[in-house]
Amino acid sequence: MNIYYLILYLTPLLILYSYRSVHLVTEGMSPKPKWAVRIIYLLVTVVVYASTTYLAVNREKYEGNDFIRQYTIIGAITLSVTILSISVFQLLSDLVLGVRLASAGISSNSNPGEPISRWTFLSKVALGAGGVMLGSFLWGTTKGIYGWRILVNKCSFKNLPQAFDGTRIVQISDLHLGSFRENFGPLEEAVQLINDLNPDYIFFTGDLVNEKPEEAAPWVHVFKKLKAKNGKYAILGNHDYRWGKTNPELEAKNRIGVKTILEEMDFTPLLNEHRILEKNGERIGLVGVENWGYSPEGWFPTYGDYKKSVEGMEEVPFNILLSHDPTHWEHHIKGKEAVDLTLSGHTHGGQMGITIPGLFEFSVAKFLYKRYAGSYSEGHQHLYINRGMGFLIFPGRVGMPPEITLHEINKA
């Protein structure tokens, strides 16, 4: 069954089941507050479900209305996740209750003087979990969406030329400028944060737009302000060729349009090309491939060609590869090509997750990608996946802040 219809049919059942937590927790209240809480809960959940369902079914009628589109997506996802969280804990509560009722000699009723029953406590936990989810999604769609996080990735290589020891590279990825609706302020702040890092190089690893080059045209003046001592380089992501299944003509038109805008932003596009970076007489290689994406359904364009990218390339002791989709590293680079460091994006880190910096991270992207965010190593080869600065479809960042990465590469 299509996931859309599964959510459509399952949500009313979850609303009713999650109401059980509200019913149990409010049981001890006086009549007026008790019924007020119960009615408000049912009214809000049913109205949000009915309105978002109606708008989703009739989305063509409201196409172009950005407020309705965002309300539909945020409302549907926030409601689903909130009531699912409540329902999971309430199910645990009911299982505890079931075990107690099945145990001989244990009553299901609590006397007034007894401590709080386990199942009532778990019902409160259920509502607490739902409240945390609701608060997280509201924060993620208002403040968290612009909560830029600078992550530092320090890595050492034995074969790095001494002249490049301590090189500072800022990586940005997945801007999806069409999603920002020309809200320049937050990204101007991000540009200043990047410049304050005083990078030697800035590498952009793809997805400048959602669908059309025109989305990026108003942003040229913002990203021209990015400063790197030794150059700004960029590649294309799957969205830079168009969205979803298209045709070669449209993809070629998009490719040219995005490339032109990147050049106007003072980036050097590397489209199956390479450059030799030189410092104090020593050299390293920078290779940039067009998008290569592993997708059985054929949704992602596969123009990336590493062999073509390095044609005529002189032999150098160290190579950096810019490749938008990390599955390219998995299928074509790891253990096969002389690439020391690969920088990718594409996954957005799932845009939703739980992050405790330096300790723990979980993301929905983990179910889709073997490697979805951060640093990975296989032998002497390293891959880093940037979580992206922009957003797509869901206009928010929940527990997965937009990322600016500072790579410090050193001589081991």
* Whether 36 and 165 share a structural domain: no
132 with 165, same domain?
Answer: no
- Indicate the residue among 140, 166, 198 that finishes a domain: 140
Same domain, 109 and 181: no
The sign of the torsion formed by the CA atoms of 224, 227, 232, 234 equals: negative
Token pair in block for residue 62: 């409201």
pLDDT digits (tens, 9 = 90+) for 60-80: 887 777 788 888 889 989 999
DSSP string for residues in 213-274: GGGTGGGHHHHTT---SS-EEE---GGGG-SSS--HHHHHHHHHHHHHHHHHTT-EE-SSEE
Residue after which a domain boundary falls, among 140, 167, 200: 140
The answer to whether the beta carbons of residues 222 and 191 sit under 8 Å apart is yes
Alpha-carbon distance values, 136 to 131, 144, 344 (Å): 8, 9, 27
Same domain (yes/no): 172, 299: yes
The listed range with the strongest mean pLDDT (101-105, 250-254, 405-409) is 405-409
Residue after which a domain boundary falls, among 87, 105, 140: 140
What is the spatial distance between Cα 24 and Cα 119, in angstroms, rounded to a whole number?
9
Sign of torsion over alpha carbons 131, 134, 136, 138: negative
Token readout for 251 is 């993809």
What is the 8-class DSSP label of residue 306?
Answer: H
- Residue 397's SS3 state is coil
Long-range contacts made by residues 327-330, C-beta under 8 angstroms, separation at least 24? 327/292, 327/293, 327/294, 327/369, 328/289, 328/292, 328/293, 328/294, 328/304, 329/371, 329/383, 330/294, 330/370, 330/371
Query: To which residue do tokens 């410092």 refer?
Result: 279
Please classify residue 401 by burial: count the beta carbons closer than 10 Å to its beta carbon, then call 0-12 exposed, 13-18 middle and 19+ buried. Answer: buried
Pick the residue with more confidence: 380 or 367?
A: 380
CATH of the domain at 208: 3.60.21.10
Tokens of 34: 């008790």
Report the chain's C-alpha Rg in angstroms.
25
In this structure, the answer to whether residues 21 and 126 fall within a common structural domain is yes
Q: Which two tokens stand for residue 262?
A: 């990147």
Residues 136 and 259 in one domain: no
Range of the domain at 234: 149-411
Give the total number of structural domains in the chain. 2
Same domain assignment for residues 300 and 251 = yes
My answer on whether 89 and 194 are in the same domain is no
Rounded CA-CA distance 134/168 in Å is 39
H or E, element range at 81: helix 66-102
Of the candidates 130, 280, 289, the one whose C-alpha atom is nearest the C-alpha of residue 203 is 289
Residues 224 and 339 in one domain: yes
Question: What local confidence, expressed as pLDDT, does residue 298 receive?
Answer: 60
- For 315, counting Cβ atoms within 10 Å of its Cβ (0-12 exposed, 13-18 middle, 19+ buried), the class is exposed
What pLDDT is recorded for position 354? 83
The pair phi, psi for residue 388, each rounded to 5°, is: 85, 155
pTM (global) more than 0.75: yes
- In this prediction, residue 269 carries a pLDDT of 97
The residue-averaged pLDDT of 375-383 equals 94
198 and 125 part of one domain: no
End-to-end CA distance of the chain: 52
- The three-state DSSP-derived secondary structure of 12-78 is HHHHHHHHHHHHHHCCCCCHHHHHHHHHHHHHHHHHHHHHHHHHHHCHHHHCCCHHHHHHHHHHHHH
Asked whether 202 and 194 are in contact (CB, 8 A), the reply is yes
**406 strand-pairing partners:** 152, 170
Q: Provide mean pLDDT across the span 395-402.
A: 93
**Lowest-confidence region among 143-157, 241-255, 316-330:** 241-255
Distance CA 191, CA 166 (A): 22
Residues 230 and 379 in one domain: yes
Q: Which band of pLDDT confidence, cut at 50, 70 and 90, is reported for residue 177?
A: very high
Q: Looking at the structure, do residues 9 and 79 belong to the same domain, yes or no?
A: yes
Say which range, 29-38, 220-229, 363-372, 396-405, has the weakest mean pLDDT: 363-372
- Characterize the bridge pairing of strands 341-344 and 319-322: parallel
